[in-house]
Amino acid sequence: MLEDILYYIGQGLGIVAVALGFISFQMKTPKKILAFQITVAFVFAAHYLFIGAPGAAALNLLAAINNILYFFRAKRGGKGWFEPIFYVVMVTVTTIITWEAWYSIILMFGLYGTAVGLSLSDPQNTRKVMLVKAPLCLIYNALVLSIGGVVYESAVLASAIIGLIRNRKNT
């Protein structure tokens, strides 16, 4: 009974995280976007914990830390490879520590895409990386039955495709 209640609370938190994620990209400054994305990561962490996906919960806490690092990276001028390398190493270590099943690898590789995508200065290249990241994370979310995660990654994928089309160079 309590387990069912927590599961439904978790699914509700996933929907809240999706809504916050959509709001984040309406912000006018990178600082505000990152602030919302930090919140999104924390809410998704709680979501995954409640639905029984502890690996994804830990990785979302790591994503919040990563977003905080990128917040300060932007203040330094947005250069350097420390943050992406640190994030890849931490994702790998966290995946090993919180191993759930074979599909943990799918999420790990998807999150590598996040590390690469956030480090690129060309938005079109970032969108291209999201074409790899989003489907991997979408598969993971479908396997752990995360409604919010499936909706969120579907929106990321659609947004990346739309952004690539709208911003393509006319030759």
Query: Smallest Cα–Cα separation from 126: which of 84, 71, 66?
Result: 84
Q: pLDDT over 90 for what percent of the chain? A: 51
Measured CA to CA, the distance from residue 143 to residue 50 in angstroms comes to 15
| Domain carrying residue 100 | 2-166
- pLDDT tens-place string over residues 90-119: 999 999 999 999 999 999 999 998 888 777
Residue 55 falls within a domain, yes or no? Answer: yes
Mean pLDDT, residues 132-155 taken together: 94
Residue 76 falls within a domain, yes or no? Answer: yes
Residue 171 falls within a domain, yes or no? Answer: no
Does residue 81 carry a pLDDT above 90?
A: no
Distances (CA, A) of 6 to 37, 44, 49, 53, 122: 24, 14, 9, 12, 41
Work out the number of other CB atoms within 10 angstroms of the CB of residue 25.
Answer: 12
The number of residues making up the chain comes to 171
Does residue 125 carry a pLDDT above 90?
A: no
**Domain count for the chain:** 1
Residue 61 falls within a domain, yes or no? Answer: yes
